[in-house]
Amino acid sequence: MKKKVLLMYCFALFAFAFSCKEAPQSEVIMVSAEEMQELLELEDIQLVDVRTPEEYETGFIEHSQNIDYMSPTFDEDLTKLDKTKPIMVYCKSGGRSGKCSKKLKDAGFIKVYDLEGGITKWEFEGNEIKTIQ
């Protein structure tokens, strides 16, 4: 009888120990323009420009989608993105994308990248931007 109780106790302890493991936490990874270029070539990344539509029209990074951080539907728009795919965000200089990155991390996105210095630094370093024609 003691063996059965001891065995049940060990099983319960084992089950408790493994059920309390924390889920892997995502982190926000700041990347330079050069690192971003490499990541875009290597990974299937969701690229999101969080500037206003007016700012987006003046120039954007190719293959990006515009989700305005200032929009009242911003949080709802984020739910349409795939949490299991890496996501990279940028804005003009890094302020809005930093806030967005935190929201994405808190929402459970697995891998979040934030372009350091935003599109301003991207363009300053000689990278191409597209315009709506």
> What CATH number is given to the structural domain containing 99?
3.40.250.10
Other Cβ atoms within 10 Å of 130 Cβ, number: 11
Assigned domain for 18 exists: no
DSSP per-residue letters across 6-63: HHHHHHHHHHHHHHTPPPPPP-EEEE-HHHHHHHHHHS--EEEE-S-HHHHHH-B-TT
Domain assignment present for residue 13? The answer is no
Any domain includes 14: no
| Cβ neighbour number for residue 86 with a 10 Å cutoff | 17
Instruction: Enumerate residue ranges in the chain where pLDDT < 50.
Output: 4-23
Does residue 6 lie in a domain region? no
Secondary structure of residue 106 in the 3-state scheme: helix
- Residue 35 belongs to a domain: yes
The predicted structure's pLDDT at residue 18: 43
The pairing of strands 28-31 and 87-90 is unpaired
pTM, entire model: 0.79
pLDDT score for 1: 54
Phi, psi of 52 (to 5 degrees): -70, 160
Domain extent, residue 104, equals 24-124
Provide the number of structural domains found in the chain.
1
CA 125 to chain centre: 23
In a domain, 15, yes or no: no
